[in-house]
Amino acid sequence: MKRRKVIGLAGAGVVGAATAGTVAWRMADDPVAPAAPAPDRIEFYGERQAGIITPAQDRLHFVAFDVITKDRDALIDMLQSWTAAAARMTAGKEAGALGAVGGVPEAPPEDTGEALGLPAADLTITIGFGPSLFDSRFGLRAKKPAALADLPKFPGDTLDPGISGGDLCIQACANDPQVAVHAVRNLARIGMGVVSVRWSQLGFGRTSSTSTSQATPRNLFGFKDGTANLKAEEATLLDEHLWVHAGDGPDWMAGGSYMVTRKIRMLIETWDRTSLLEQETIVGRDKGEGAPLSSKAEFDEPDFAVEGDDGEPLIAQDAHVRLAHPTENNGVRMLRRGYNFVDGSDGLGRLNAGLFFISYQRDPHKQFVPVQTKLARLDQMNEYIRHVSSGLFACPPGLAAADDYWGRSLFG
C-alpha cells in the first residue's frame, strides 16, 4: 500500500491547514520528537488528538477499560504514564526508555517487544472518557458533559453489556496490525492494578475515508462506505459538526470530540445470497461505482426526488443512503471512522463478521442519536445487521507538549 504512505505524509500537512495552522510541531518540548517527522509517523502532540481526522489507517485495535482503583492519584499517575508511553510509541519507539531488551536480565522487559523493528506505521493513540467515569468515585460528577449522557436504547438493539461501555477507551490505529496491538497491550500492562480490560476489538480494514486524498473503502457487504463522510479538508464543516466549542459544555472538552462505537454484526451469509438488485436497493447506491441510484458517479449528490418509470423514487424511501443522508437529517454530519472485523466464527457455521462503527461528533445526542433512531426504525438493512455493542466516550482536545498529559484538564 505504497500510496497510503504518501497520503499519510500529505495528510499530516493538510491537518495543519485544516485547522488554520494551529497544529504546530513542538519538537523543542518533545523529548521523543525526531529531527524531522518521518513519513510514517503521525505527530502525537497538537491542538487536536491524532486519530480523528488523521487519514484513516488500515488497522484498528480498540480497547475499553474499567477503572478498578478507587485512588484518584493512582489513576492520574497512570494517565501520565500512558501519555508518555503513547508519545513514545507513536514516534515508533518502545513503550519505555529501557525497551524490550535494554533492561537488566532479571527484570521483565519494559516493552513487550513485538513491535521491535517495525516502523511507526502511522500509529495514532486516541483516548476517551466514558460516562461511567463521572460517577462518585473520582469527584468528576460536576464535570460530566450533558453530551455524555447515556445513549438511549434503539429499536432492535441486542447489546451485550460485557462488550459495551467502559470508563476509559483507547483507539489505536496503524497501518500495521501488530503496531496497533503492541500499543494497546503495553498500555494495558502499564495500567495493571488501576484499570482492567473490559472488552477489546480488532479491525482489519478501514471502512471510511477521513481525507479527500483517500479512496473510499468497502465494508463487508461489499459496498463503498463513508462516501459522504466528513473529511479532514473540510475545515468549516469540521468546526460545525466535529469539534466541541467553548460554551458547548464543560471547558475541559472544548476542542475535543465525542466518540460513539457500535459493534455491528453483519449476517453476511444471508446478505450474500441476496440479489444484486436487492442489495443495491437496500443501500441506495450501486455496488460497482458506489454512485447514488439517482446518479452516475460516486461523489454525485443523491437526488432523492428522481423517480423511475414506475413512479417510485430511484432511491427507495427506506434505503440506507436516504435515511442516513444529511439532507434528510437536518444537515447533521458525523465523522465516521469504522473498521471491518471478523472475530472467528459463531459456532453455527457462520463467520462472526461485521463493522465496528466509530463516529466522532460535536454532540452525539444531536447527531448520532437522531440518525440512528431513524435507521433503527426504518432501515431495510436491519434484516442483515445486529448492533451487539455500544460505547460513548468523550475525547478531550490534544496535548500541547510533553509536560501535558491525558486528563490534566479534567482532573486538574
Partner 1 sequence: MRTPRLLAIVAAAAATVPLAACGGNDEAGTASGASGKITVDASDTECKVAAAESDAGTVTFAITNKGNKVTEFYVYAAGDRVMGEVENIAPSLSRELIVELAAGTYETACKPGMIGKGIRNAFTVSGSAPALTEDAKLAQATKDYQRYVKSQTGALIEQTTAFVNAVKAGDIEKAKGLFPIARTYWERIEPVAESFGDLDPKIDAREADLAPGEKWTGFHKLEKDLWVSKDVSKSGPTADQLLVDVQTIVDKSETVTLSPVQLANGSKGLLDEVASGKITGEEDTFSHTDLWDFAANVEGSQAAIAALRPAIEEKDAALAKTLDERFASVEAALEKHRQGDGWALHNTLSEADLKVLSDEINALSEPISKVAALVAGK
Q: Is 196 in the site for partner 1 (CB under 8 A)?
A: yes
Residues near partner 1 (CB under 8 A), total: 16
Give CA–CA dist 26/404, Å, rounded: 12
Q: Nearest approach, Cβ of 390 to partner 1 (angstroms)?
A: 19
Kindly tell me which of 81 and 329 has the beta carbon lying closer to partner 1.
81
- Indicate whether 380 belongs to the interface with partner 1 (CB under 8 A): no
Q: Are 85 and 190 in contact (CB under 8 A)?
A: yes
Q: Is the dihedral of CA 243, 249, 254, 259 positive or negative?
A: negative
Of the pair 196, 274, the CB lying nearest partner 1 is at: 196
Nearer residue to partner 1 within complex by CB, 64 or 381 = 64
Measured from the CB atom, is 70 or 296 closer to partner 1?
A: 70
Distance CA 70, CA 88 (A): 28
Closer to partner 1 by Cβ: residue 110 or 122: 110
* 332: helix, strand or coil: coil
Could you give the angle at which helices 177-190 and 72-90 cross, rounded to 10 degrees? 150
Q: Report if residue 193 touches partner 1, rule: CB under 8 A.
A: yes
Q: What is the DSSP letter of 218?
A: B
Pairing of strands 168-174, 59-67: antiparallel
Q: Min. distance of Cβ 190 from partner 1 in angstroms?
A: 9
* Residue 239 CB contacts under 8 Å (≥ 6 apart), including other chains: none
73 touches partner 1 by CB under 8 A = no
Listing DSSP states for 78-127 in one string gives HHHHHHHHHHHHHTT--SSSSTTTSS-TTSPPSS--TTTT---TT-EEEE
Identify which of residues 98 and 400 has a Cβ nearer to partner 1 in the complex.
Answer: 98
Of 93-101, 297-305, 387-395, 401-409, the segment contacting partner 1 by CB under 8 A is 93-101
Considering only residues 98 to 137 of the shown chain, the ones binding partner 1 according to CB under 8 A are: 98-99, 101-108
Compute the Cα dihedral for 33, 37, 41, 45 and give only its sign: positive
Among 24, 27, 38, 68, binds partner 1 (CB under 8 A): 68
Q: Are 403 and 52 in contact (CB under 8 A)?
A: no
Which amino acid belongs to residue 268?
A: I
One-letter amino acid for residue 267 of the chain: L
CB of 164 to partner 1, least distance (A): 15
* Minimum distance, C-beta of residue 71 to partner 1, in the bound complex (Å): 10
Contact between 72 and partner 1 per CB under 8 A: no
Q: Which is nearer to partner 1, 68 or 400 (CB)?
A: 68
Q: Which amino acid is at 406?
A: W
Q: Give the nearer residue to partner 1 in terms of CB position, either 196 or 380.
A: 196
| Grid cell for residue 334 | 458525523
* Smallest distance, partner 1 to C-beta of residue 322, A: 42
Cell 447514488: give the residue.
292
Binding mask 145-184 for partner 1 (x = CB under 8 A): ----------------------------------------
User: CB 77: neighbour CB atoms within 10 A?
Assistant: 14
Q: Least distance from C-beta 68 to partner 1, angstroms?
A: 5
Residues 212-271 touching partner 1, rule: CB under 8 A, are none
Binding interface with partner 1 (CB under 8 A): 68, 98-99, 101-108, 189, 192-194, 196
